[in-house]
Amino acid sequence: AQKVTQAQTEISVVEKEDVTLDCVYETRDTTYYLFWYKQPPSGELVFLIRRNSFDEQNEISGRYSWNFQKSTSSFNFTITASQVVDSAVYFCALLLLGGKLIFGQGTELSVKP
Amino acid sequence: EPEVTQTPSHQVTQMGQEVILRCVPISNHLYFYWYRQILGQKVEFLVSFYNNEISEKSEIFDDQFSVERPDGSNFTLKIRSTKLEDSAMYFCASRGQGVSPLHFGNGTRLTVT
């Protein structure tokens, strides 16, 4: 099966807390790419990061960081010192070789002041 | 920064009517996609299009749906006879060569009454 599972449907935190969004994927491909997209209340899908299956180096971009662990098929996303503007639905996605993007169910993050 | 544009942003139609959703992908992109997101659910793949033909389609993309790239810039999704369950946000996306992220438009919210 080729699928993405985001087990956390909703997360609620208070501003300045750190929060980690989990993503577990399944694929039979040896080469694949993983993505995170953000969907704010306005509805658009905003690309955040891409990671390929050969690059397990973790990445940090400002308050965002990503932890890719091939051994556990996970690609988790951490927001440090969360802000109200981080409130959105976050989607993890798997790019298949044919170019099709498979999305997880999404995690709705609510950051309260 | 170039972006994918979709029109209209919101379309209301009566059941049984035909609708055409329009998209202008990023100009040098070669791969085009339509995705659908029913309210509160995950983003689902409908169809991918490359080199003037459909490269893959999902089970959702039945005979009521069609796509077209009528000129060098537009990419359209037609629903021939809309049903209530077609009500959703429809996202157009495009990407360039190689493994590049999909860039999504802001979506068209289709409401079928």
A79-103: pLDDT as tens digits: 999 999 999 999 999 988 777 889 9
pLDDT-derived band at B21, boundaries 50, 70, 90: very high
B87 touches chain A (CB under 8 A): no
pLDDT band at B109 (very low <50, low <70, confident <90, very high): very high
**Cβ neighbours of residue A70 under 8 Å, at least 6 residues apart?**
A53, A56
A16 dihedral zone (left: phi>0; alpha: psi -120 to 50; beta)? left
Q: Is the pLDDT of residue A105 over 80?
A: yes
Residue A60 binned pLDDT confidence (cut-offs 50, 70, 90): confident
B95 touches chain A (CB under 8 A): yes
CB B48 within 8 A of CB B67: no
- Closest chain B residue by Cα to residue A10: B40
What number is the average pLDDT over the span B31-54? Answer: 93
Average pLDDT rounded to a whole number, residues B65-81: 93
**Neighbouring C-alpha atoms within 13 Å toward the C-beta of B35:** 23
- Partner residue opposite B42 with nearest CB, options A33, A98, A103: A103
**pLDDT of the residue at A88:** 97
Which residue, B85, B37, B3, is CA-closest to A106?
Answer: B37
Q: How far apart are CA B64 and CA B79, in angstroms?
A: 6
Nearest partner of A1 among A25, A35, A33, judged by Cα: A25
Report whether pLDDT(B113) > 80.
yes
Among residues of chain B, what percentage have pLDDT more than 90?
79
Q: How far apart are CA B97 and CA B103, in angstroms?
A: 13
pLDDT band at A6 (very low <50, low <70, confident <90, very high): very high
Of residues A55 and A94, more confidently modeled: A94
- Contact between B42 and A52 using a beta-carbon 8 Å cutoff: no
Residue B27 scores a pLDDT above 80:
yes
Q: Is some CB atom of chain B closer than 8 A to the CB atom of A32?
A: no
Of A33, A46, A24, A27, the C-alpha closest to B43 is A46
- Tokens representing residue B51 in the block: 């080199």
Residue A25 pLDDT more than 90? yes
Q: Does A43 touch chain B (CB under 8 A)?
A: yes
Counting beta carbons within 10 angstroms of the beta carbon of residue B24, is it exposed (0 to 12), middle (13 to 18) or buried (19 or more)? middle
Number of neighbours of residue A89 by Cβ within 10 angstroms:
23
Q: Residue A67 corresponds to which amino acid?
A: N
- In this complex, do B45 and A47 lie within 8 Å of one another by their Cβ atoms? no
CA distance A100 to B45: 7
Average pLDDT score over residue span A2-6: 94
Is 90 exceeded by the pLDDT of residue B97? no
